[in-house]
Amino acid sequence: MAGEDSHPGRATAPESPSVGFAVEPVALELGRRFVDAGFELSLVGGPVRDLFLRRKSPDLDFTTNATPDETLSIVKGWADAFWEIGRDFGTIGLRKQGFQIEVTTYRAEAYDPESRKPVVAFGTSLEDDLERRDFSMNAMALRLPSLELVDPFGGVRDLHAGVLRTPGAPEDSFSDDPLRMMRAARFASQLKVDVAPEVRDAMTAMAGRISIISAERVRDELVKLVNGDAPRVGVDLLVDTGIADVVLPEVGALRLEVDEHHRHKDVYQHSLTVLEQAAALETGPDGPVPGPDFVLRFAALLHDIGKPATRRFEPGGAVSFRHHDVVGAKLVKKRMRELRFDNETIKSVARLVELHMRFYGYGDAGWTDSAVRRYVTDAGPLLERLHRLTRSDVTTRNQRKADRLSFAYDDLEQRIAELAEQEELAAIRPDLDGQQIMQILGVPPGPVVGRAYRYLLEERMENGPASEEEARAKLLAWWAGQPEEAVDQERTVKQKRTVKEEKESE
């Protein structure tokens, strides 16, 4: 029997041996509309799984024996809005009371082994529809409005056990859609579940199949994995099964950084620890780095990927990785472009990787105010993320060394705060703008203005803010020292523009 719980308006489904859950009223209302019209409707997949996990699902997914045309006739006049973009795949989308809803006709999909896309055929059975789904915990349905749980593949059992299994043979499931292997790693990260041995074995055997999946789909799964509650687990699964060798080979390559003499730390395990520590330093929604923050986490994972290419064995057995930060930033850009990330995200992650070693000079010798200004200016809007990445990069077991680095960074942050109060570091500009430079030097727009601007910015960095008169004197002294040919070029440019303007005015 359906009953009432502590949420007014929500009905409670029949409990499994230890789990009860509440269904949104809008789902029950939609279920009644379909039944009244002579059709079946079931809440399905992730939303059902999330009910057992007591998580609020952002979307509601339903499956039905009604065709798309029949679904449209039922929701028209009831939905706040609807759309038919997925109609060819049997899906009608709609919005009701703030919920994003998808209703999909029972499907029986077949896949071309060499294709990225399914061939869609409509089915007639809820059980058959569930069998084609990716994992047993996602292959559960709740009939509406009766709240009858349909769980033919042991999804509740697997949820209780914290194990990820497929409804049928994992090889068949992954052959149908290889992206499901990425999804397995994503769920390991998001839900903190273990992957069944047979699923892991199939992922390992079929890792190469990921190569037929579009970069965009791989990217989207990777973002969800990295933003999960246990990203280390998900990444480790990709690496152990060989899938990372296809989608993120630079991370798998870090395992090569353990030599037989153990002269230096395991860079791969270090990177996973940095990822965990960076995620732990994210803030709440009102803080400077609200979590989960993909840019910070991905930079933490990739910050050392330049090491394999820069590894050198020095005399005496030491190992060095000179300029691995610069090399790593270039590799980050290349990989993220291949994964079709947007330019801003690529730029941000690469910049953090490039800057992650900058602090270590501060720990060895005190920085001038000029160096602190450069650190802040180079980081720009990424400064708060850089703070967290740099702190996360300390994984040494030597507590004295860890404390020394932590104290040094505390000191740097304090100096940044003090200088920021005095100089507005976040928006450092030269003491004169481009218009003032042109007016003082009597030159038109051109290369010399850019050079003068950079000179004044360098002065601002090195010596702090100056008055307008001081900046004017510096600019004129710089101009007096410019080669005569550069001055003549600017005069020539000015004369040509004057002649052109005179002709145009005639």
Residue 501: per-residue pLDDT: 52
Distances (CA, A) of 18 to 52, 149, 156, 390: 10, 14, 10, 44
Q: What residues are paired with 136 via a beta bridge?
A: none
Q: Is the pLDDT of residue 20 over 60?
A: no
Token digits for 218? 């791989």
Reply yes or no on whether the pLDDT at 8 is more than 50. no
- Backbone φ and ψ for 180, nearest 5 degrees, come out as -60, -25
Alpha helices in 213-323 (DSSP H): 215-226, 231-241, 244-247, 249-252, 267-280, 294-302, 307-310
Q: Which tens digit of pLDDT belongs to each residue from 430-453?
A: 778 888 888 888 888 888 888 888
**pLDDT of 14 over the 50 cut:** no
Choice between 199 and 412, residue whose per-residue pLDDT is larger: 199
154 has pLDDT over 90: yes
Domain locations in the chain as residue ranges = 3-160, 162-247, 279-427, 434-505
Q: Specify the CATH architecture of the domain 3-160.
A: 2-Layer Sandwich (3.30)
Exposed, middle or buried by CB within 10 Å (0-12, 13-18, 19+), for 260?
exposed
Confidence of residue 361 (pLDDT cuts 50, 70, 90): confident
Between 68 and 311, the more confident residue is 68
Q: Give the CATH class of 162-247.
A: mainly alpha
Which of 3-12, 159-168, 431-440, 455-464 shows the highest mean pLDDT?
A: 159-168
- pLDDT above 60: residue 218: yes
Of 67-71, 150-154, 164-168, 471-475, minimum mean pLDDT range: 471-475
Percentage of residues of the chain with pLDDT beyond 70: 85
Residue 278 has pLDDT above 60, yes or no: yes
CB 95 within 8 A of CB 80: yes
Which of 44-58, 201-215, 306-320, 356-370 has the lowest average pLDDT?
356-370
Which residue carries 């004295």 as its tokens? 400
Q: Where are the beta strands (DSSP E) in 261-375?
A: 312-313, 319-320
Question: What average pLDDT is seen over the chain?
Answer: 85
pTM of the model: 0.78
Instruction: Say whether pLDDT at 360 is over 80.
Output: yes
Mean predicted confidence (pLDDT) in 269-282:
96
What share of the chain has pLDDT > 90, as a percent? 56
- In this predicted model, what pLDDT tens digit does every residue of 21-76 receive, in sequence order? 578 899 999 999 999 999 999 999 999 999 998 888 778 999 999 999 999 999 99
Residue predicted with more confidence, 181 or 360: 181
> Could you read off the pLDDT of 173-190 as tens digits, one per residue?
999 899 999 999 999 999
| pLDDT over 60 at 263, yes or no | no
- In angstroms, how far is CA 500 from the centroid of its own chain? 52
Give the integer Cα–Cα distance in Å for 194 and 190: 11
d(CA 2, CA 282): 41
pLDDT at 237 over 50: yes
CA distances from 416 to 368, 370, 372, 404, 421 (A): 11, 11, 7, 18, 9
Same fold, 3-160 and 162-247: no
